Structure 1
């Protein structure tokens, strides 16, 4: 699997495994399926794994750490996130978590982008992962916490990076505008943009991607299926878009893109995975997987050959912006097996 090396930060495989589903996102995943998802991703060449305390109140980190425990530490990259500190909550442990994960509410999430909160959060993550360090730390969804996140939060992560405790620091969000402000004002190495650099939403191209390229900040693209609408060859009638029922307008647009894909011998999900990597600022696409089959499917989609004529027709029809050229080989970084 090909890898890309950002200007600042570790080499990342073009495909990363997003571990939210290992935390029982929306429904229960078995330990065996979680292990299978990681094993199949590894066998496919994936060496970048992303998680967060938020995902299943620590369950994702515990499962990911267990699944990687026998792998050579120098051969893979792990990112986790800070900003939601997990606080024990024994009085609610009999309830179901209300944060979107099928786990007991034995902890509550407390927003904290302060120095002590970040250090405590990272210490907990290392314990759950069974690691002595992670490679990348992102501030997680600081939408309503700009002031603290852009000052104390980033300063704390930079301190950890300068001490050699992490290799790269950044911010992960579901919006592009604030990420652009972090790139403009703060000393970040990477940003993870979820759902804003996709076949259906190119808002990251307005400011974030050009600015990141100019400043040498690597971009990790996540949620490239926009929560499901682009995950099947044809958009289903009950498809979701950004975690809500998809509107008729956006479903029709996805169907129009699917028509073009079929004319060029490819599929909508394959194009959805390939599209973000066409921009030279993007260093990896992170896809979630719940089991081995989904991990293998992700790898097959990445490996699909997408003809340039497909992108040209999509641009001609106004379905994607024109002028999005694939990065040169030198910008994409080196390859490894």
Structure 2
């Protein structure tokens, strides 16, 4: 699907690179490369990354693998807003405080100014080994110390880079519907990356944000659709994660109730989660991460096999899904 009114086309299933940036745990180079290759073999041609993921490790690993494929056959998005700068205090330490098992010899520094955006893209291109990225996304500006600069500095810079043909599409990524909607309503961006706010577990983005995207012609890339792992297995465990932390008991119970309905219909919880995440009309791609090739292959297989249609009516009837949420068609992922 094309992003907004641009010529940038993404596959319905995309690959997210946070896990191969050593999210939570170290991933060997060979396994990271095999996981990216597994995504390619499964038909994925859209790859999302960011400097934030492993302090540049994810970008470097992705670029090394994609160097073996024709450049005009895939789309890459990366993020701007955080620069990587030397961190003398991090010598001998890891970045696990930020979720990544990598040496903390660098640190993230917010810079949402026009100059910071251009520098961020240049440095990402160096790590990726590419002469261009297709999509540039402002990364979590709500978490910065000067979020208004995303509108006054970062967005105008990206708009100019798009006009110059340096990038094909521009947008913003966040888990906060309010800031995403503000950008949708006040700017001329092409795409938003929505993190964890339109999933089978919960759909707050359905209230205002997604209708605004549809009205304004803004595409949506849906990420975090397993809610940090809570929906990633057939039966959620008691130690499951949510929002990158321990999942609350009430959400584990809700996820298990959804899983029980899935079982009655002969489908798996992650299969239903992937199908639902793609169903809203503005969804251009569902991006999922993986740290092992077998995990990526399973994700692709589940995505290609939509659950039976009666599942959705039962979820609504049991109060587990909003009645106004668009449901997948039987051929939605085909």
TM-score (normalised: structure 2): 0.95
Aligned to 2:199: 198
Distance in structure 2 (CA, Å) of the matches to 1:61 and 1:34: 12
Aligned to 1:7: 4
Secondary structure of residue in 2 paired with 1:275: helix
Aligned to 1:169: 170
Aligned to 1:52: 50
Distance in structure 1 (CA, Å) of the matches to 2:87 and 2:4: 42
Moved more, 129-138 or 310-319: 310-319
The C-alpha deviation readout for 1:96-127, integer Å capped at 9, x for no partner, is 12321111111111011001111111111000
Please tell me whether residue 62 in structure 1 is matched to residue 60 in structure 2: yes
- Equivalent residues in 2 for 1:18-57, closer than 5 Å: 18-57=16-55
The answer as to whether partners of 1:83 and 1:140 remain within 8 angstroms in 2 is yes
Aligned to 2:71: 73
The answer as to whether partners of 1:233 and 1:268 remain within 8 angstroms in 2 is yes
The answer as to whether partners of 1:277 and 1:326 remain within 8 angstroms in 2 is no
Q: Which has the higher contact order (CA 8 A, sep 6+)?
A: 1
Secondary structure of residue in 1 paired with 2:126: helix
The answer as to whether partners of 2:94 and 2:102 remain within 8 angstroms in 1 is yes
Aligned to 1:155: 156
Aligned to 1:178: 179
Distance apart, 1:327 and its partner CA = 7.1
Q: CA RMSD in A?
A: 1.6
Which runs of 5 or more structure 2 residues have no equivalent in the other structure? none
Aligned to 1:300: 301
The answer as to whether partners of 1:52 and 1:58 remain within 8 angstroms in 2 is yes
Aligned to 2:94: 96
Secondary structure of residue in 1 paired with 2:102: coil
Task: Count residues in correspondence.
Answer: 329
Please tell me whether residue 133 in structure 1 is matched to residue 120 in structure 2: no
Aligned to 1:234: 235
Distance apart, 1:325 and its partner CA = 3.1
Aligned to 2:141: 142
Secondary structure of residue in 2 paired with 1:103: strand
Distance apart, 1:7 and its partner CA = 3.0
Secondary structure of residue in 2 paired with 1:138: strand
Distance in structure 1 (CA, Å) of the matches to 2:300 and 2:88: 40
Distance in structure 2 (CA, Å) of the matches to 1:123 and 1:93: 25
Distance apart, 1:200 and its partner CA = 1.2
The answer as to whether partners of 2:63 and 2:130 remain within 8 angstroms in 1 is yes
Distance apart, 1:278 and its partner CA = 0.9
The answer as to whether partners of 2:86 and 2:107 remain within 8 angstroms in 1 is yes
The answer as to whether partners of 2:206 and 2:325 remain within 8 angstroms in 1 is no
The answer as to whether partners of 1:280 and 1:326 remain within 8 angstroms in 2 is no
Secondary structure of residue in 1 paired with 2:197: coil
Distance in structure 2 (CA, Å) of the matches to 1:234 and 1:260: 11
Secondary structure of residue in 2 paired with 1:16: strand
Secondary structure of residue in 2 paired with 1:227: coil
Distance apart, 1:245 and its partner CA = 1.5
Aligned to 2:226: 225
Distance in structure 2 (CA, Å) of the matches to 1:179 and 1:51: 19
Aligned to 1:262: 263
Distance in structure 1 (CA, Å) of the matches to 2:66 and 2:3: 24
